[in-house]
A = this chain, B = another copy of it.
């Protein structure tokens, strides 16, 4: 038996039970309403064990969708430089992630979400609460418009994934990332800070 190092992974069936309960709770109630306490109860374990194995509620959520990046770490650098050019910076960061091996995990999640309503709900909750909310929360715009602005950004970036990695329409499928940043950055910029009323 191989010697293990680092944090002990816990009993596999306990971890799996917690993950299954968390997946159900996040998909059914949404990220905000789901609680570590009710997830622990559903998995028949102590809440402290959930924290011990998975950390915070955000970290547990990321484990349920098997997304190996943390938007809470990545996004501040994109947003910190202020509203000027935030569209281009967001597209650039997005392509750097999706062109890396992380993109393979993302594609697996997307494929699953397209065919499974349960996974689609988890992906929606992840995008809305972990990504889009963080992107729009500090914008100097009408708060009532924030959800629409976030959803519009999601629509352009989801379509970029579809055309670059899934349907593979040239030249987007093979373009240099900076070429796409130039073409698509202004769209994301307008969705975040521009006039949407025509």
Report which A residues bind B (CB closer than 8 A): 110-111, 113-115, 120, 123-124, 127-128, 132, 147-148, 150-152, 154-160, 162-164, 166-172, 175, 182-187, 190-191, 196-198
| Dominant secondary structure at the A interface | helix
Residues of B within 8 A of A169 (CB): 124, 127-128, 132, 150-151, 154-155
**Copies of this protein chain in the complex:** 2
Max chain B Cβ within 10 angstroms of own Cβ: one of A111, A113, A150, A151: A151
The answer to whether A155 and B160 touch (CB under 8 A), given A167-B127, A183-B196, A186-B198, is yes
Interface contact B163-A160, CB-CB below 8 Å: no
Bound CA–CA A155/B186 (angstroms): 14
Residues of B within 8 A of A166 (CB): 113-114, 120
Interface contact B197-A167, CB-CB below 8 Å: no
Choice from B111, B115, B170, B187 contacting A190 with Cβ under 8 Å: B187
Interface contact B114-A110, CB-CB below 8 Å: yes
What would be 19 A-B contacts, judged by CB atoms less than 8 Å apart? A113-B166, A113-B167, A114-B166, A115-B115, A120-B167, A123-B167, A124-B169, A147-B170, A148-B172, A151-B172, A154-B169, A155-B159, A158-B158, A158-B167, A159-B159, A162-B162, A183-B191, A185-B198, A186-B198
